[in-house]
Chain A
Amino acid sequence: MTETKQQEILHDWLNRHKGLFFKVVRAYAHNEEDRDDLFQEITLQVWRSIPNFRGESAETTWIYRIAFNTAIRWHSKERKHQEGRQSMESAPVLEAQSKHQDERLTWLYEQIGKLSEVEKSLCLLLLDGFSYKEMSNIVGISESNVAVKIHRIKKYLQEQSEKMTANNGI
């Protein structure tokens, strides 16, 4: 595969599935600079993976898998900006669009942010409607293990939602 073709595919995937990239970035990185850094890392890894993509799975499954692997590794290894180091020189790659902010979505991301790294991945897949079997393939654990973790995640989210409702006096 030529580099131009690889670049074209990346461009196409970014156009059609950018929401997926943004979801992973928002779930795993909690400030502007980290989001920017993680987005670049995921994009780079997805770009590298393109020659290996044989179309045996859906594009979204493939991208999610690469994005999660990258995010978990990035999270455990780098966290450079959280440790107080300054960011890179030039313009940011990602620019937040404030007009598209939804408070309930922000709350949901806050809750996801409190989950463990693995649970975050499962939670994103669950919210995106992936089946247990697909989750099991992406994450590499058994379906029964997925089911146990998903049960716990749902319970946690519901508890948090109830707490929020109680605090708001609704």
Chain B
Amino acid sequence: MEFEDMQKIWNADSQQYAFAINEDAMQKKILNKKIGASRKINRMEMFLIGVNLLVGSFILGKNLILDLHNVYLYGLSFVLYGSVVYMFLQRQKRIKGENEFDRSMLGDINHAINNATYQERLSIFAFIYGIPVFVLVWFSVYESDKSAAFLIGVAIFFILTLALSVVEHRMIHRRHKRRLVQLKEMLLSNEK
């Protein structure tokens, strides 16, 4: 079969009628998708910013109102406020960059890579910022004369959390970005 014959088969009217569209089901499902997928990153950012702001304020307020003046708790609220500022700046940068990609397939992949890089960076940040939070929480608990078992429990909890964040970073964010970069390479190279 020559390529021209394939084109004739391809251009047959039957392609137009290969499927029937159930419009009611389509409306319903698309509406669900719209609600479900809309602004996932946005909500994640707002959630993280809100939680850090709230916890930072709570710790600072408690430290001041109860006259604790615990240096580790001051440090902890400082780290939490710092993370809020960092996330806010990163978010602004992301929003600003949203329209900088052309509307070709390559532009769309570049956009996706940019988003994946952003998520990857957020996950690295979550790990790095988890370390001082861990140290400061641990020392503030230590100063409050809790039992050794409790201190060990807190340490295990934080170590597990940090380990899980490393797994999440490697298994989800890094892998997703690698796949997109491969797609881009495939698009740009002459090799399959």
Main secondary structure of the interface of A (DSSP, over half): helix
Number of A-B contacts (CB under 8 A): 135
Give per-residue flags for A138-170: 1 if the beta carbon is below 8 A from chain B beta carbons, else 0: 111100010011001010011001001100000
Q: Does A68 contact B (CB under 8 A)?
A: yes
A140 engages B104 (CB within 8 Å):
yes
A117 touches B22 (CB 8 A): no
Measured CB to CB, the nearest residue on chain A to B14 is: A100
Which A20-35 residues sit within 8 Å CB-CB of chain B? Answer: 22-23, 25-26, 35
- Is the pair B105, A76 in contact by a Cβ cutoff of 8 Å? no
Inter-chain contact A95/B19, CB cutoff 8 Å = yes
| Residue from A23, A73, A77, A138 within 8 A of B104 (CB atoms) | A138
Tell me whether A91 and B15 are in contact (CB under 8 A).
no
A: residues with CB less than 8 A from B are 14, 18-19, 22-23, 25-26, 35, 39-41, 43-44, 47, 52, 65, 68-69, 72-73, 76-77, 88, 90-97, 100-102, 104-105, 108, 116-119, 121, 127-129, 137-141, 145, 148-149, 152, 154, 157-158, 161, 164-165
Contact call B21/A105, Cβ cutoff below 8 A: no
Q: Given contacts A90-B25, A104-B9, is CB(A40)–CB(B30) below 8 Å?
A: yes
Residues of A within 8 A of B14 (CB): 100-102, 105
Interface size on B, residues (CB 8 A): 43
- Is B42 at the interface (CB under 8 A from chain A)? no
A92 — which chain B residues lie within 8 A by C-beta? 22, 25
Residue of A nearest to B190 (CB): A148
Asked if B112 is at the interface (CB within 8 A of a chain A CB), the reply is yes
Provide the bound-state CA to CA distance between A47 and B27, in Å: 11
| Docked CA distance A104–B2 (Å) | 13
- A–B Cβ pairs within 8 angstroms, 28 of them: A19-B15, A19-B18, A26-B18, A40-B29, A40-B33, A65-B105, A69-B108, A69-B109, A72-B105, A72-B109, A90-B28, A92-B25, A93-B21, A94-B20, A95-B22, A96-B19, A101-B14, A102-B12, A102-B14, A104-B1, A108-B10, A118-B105, A127-B6, A127-B11, A128-B11, A138-B105, A158-B2, A158-B3
